[in-house]
Amino acid sequence: MNNATSAWISRSVDRLRPAKGKAAAAKDKPGDGPGELQSGRSTHERLAATLRRGGEALSPRALRQLLAQLQDVLAPRVSEIEGGRRAQAVATWYGQAEPAQRRDLWLLMGEQFVPDAARMKNAQQRYQAALGTADEPQAEAQLRRALNSPRTRLLQRFAAFPEGMRFLVDLRAELLPHLKADQCLLPLEAELEQLFSTWFDVAFLELRRLSWDSPASLIEKLIKYEAVHDIRSWDDLKNRLDSDRRCYGFFHPRLPNEPLIFVEVALADEISDSITPLLDESAAPSDIQRASTAIFYSISNTQAGLRGVSFGDSLIKHVVETLQQEFPRLRHFATLSPIPGFRAWLQKNCATQLELLDAKRLAELGRAVGFEPKGAKDLPAQVLAAADKALELAPRSALRQLLQQWAARYLARELQDGKPLDPVARFHLGNGARVERLNWAADPSAKGLKQSFGLMVNYLYDLKRIDKHRDLLAQAKVPVSGDIEDLCRP
């Protein structure tokens, strides 16, 4: 490694290295195993060392050898094919490495293949000075080139061999859980996300229908990746692929047998208010010639390594277009969706919500849950305990009515950074839907009760108002139906 290279590595590593406080100091304790706490030394320090410190997986010599292999992948006169072959050799090593050794590869990629800090700083200064002048376009182009890191080219070489894309997606999936505790990994993760956003753009994806006639290996992946309503058996799966159902997935040419995301659709004559009939294996198929409504009742992402890469809005648009071509009578497109964050939100905010009730409603609720005035501070706990038996509540129950009201407020009013707090709401509302209707006891499963006391919600995709709904959400206003708006009122 020449002096110039050492200099820019040193500068860049210093820029990326987190401050060494108590957490970093704790990593330097002797005797820490490689699978537990890690050494606080950067790869630059370790490469210059002779001995391995406690908590470091690879010795300095082994680390230098691994760095040399990565540098060989990027050798200037190496062809794309040869570079990919060398990258594949590193990937083979990675597949056999221990978790702590894999982390050392991540650190090398993150710390040793960074932009030239001096060049980047100079380009930024020239760009700032050129703003508003005739030199601005040229300065911007130079800045973009300066921001390109050798890491980008390295990752592109890994994507070149046949299983390279699979390798990179799995690598990021393994890396993501470590980001909060290990900020040194942030640049590598950010670069992977940026590359994936380009490589997995919808322009490169293919929408395919999955049916009972699809290859068995592909159908098995539906069982594996289903994230909303677990597929209990082959009969359950066959029901979801019956004549009145459709299942579509997005596929990438470099991952030809892996759906990146898939959606399950039921064709019906009205918006569904319960998941039970849709999952009933003994129910006769609906008459698809009379269907007027498409119900999206399950959408599952399959690749943890593609977190942050958005497919959902494009998937729904493509599916709607495909369904309209096959079934011109379809007029309504809606979901039957879980509310996964509702119970957790209410557990945290129940006392605050109770304070908003007037004396009459508070008394009605108290009678419903067996509350006595002397135990006022215990009312939130009593309410939550009674809500555990939500399926037994009568239609006119004060608690049942309040649970629906609170769910409506949670979906329509609770925002974080201008976006819905609930993750499923964030997805559909971000795609232009509106909150249409709450459905009581719509998911009586253990999972449904645990998430939202059995409540589910319909999000409606009004094709003529999707842009309007997006504009509202951009103003931190959740688009809702009149019924939901009424529920939100005190």
pLDDT along the chain (490 residues), means of 10: 42 40 37 46 94 93 97 93 96 96 96 92 94 94 91 95 96 96 93 95 94 92 93 93 95 93 95 96 91 96 92 87 94 96 96 91 87 68 92 94 97 94 95 96 96 97 94 96 93
Query: In this predicted structure, what is the pLDDT of residue 379?
Result: 87
Q: Which residues of 451-460 are buried (b: 16+ CB within 10 A; e: fewer)?
A: bbbbbbbbbb
> Residues 255, 166: contact at Cβ < 8 Å?
yes
Helices then strands, each counted (H, E), the chain: 23, 9
Pairing mode, if any, of strands 332-335 and 293-301? Answer: parallel
DSSP secondary structure string for all residues of 100-169 = HHHHHHHHHHHHHS---HHHHHHHHHHHHHHTTSTTHHHHHHHHHHHH--HHHHHHHHHTTSTTHHHHHH
Catalytic residue among 337, 452, 469, 481: 337
- Closest among 183, 113, 159 to 305, alpha carbons compared: 159
pLDDT at 2: 44
Judge contact between 65 and 142, C-beta under 8 A. Answer: no
pTM: 0.83
393-398 contact pairs (CB < 8 A, 24+): 397/368, 398/361, 398/364, 398/365, 398/367, 398/368
Q: Single out the catalytic residue among 428, 445, 452, 481.
A: 428
Check: CB of residue 121 under 8 Å from CB of residue 12: no
332 is catalytic: no
CB 455 within 8 A of CB 339: yes
428 is catalytic: yes
Backbone angles phi, psi at 279, to 5 degrees: -100, 5
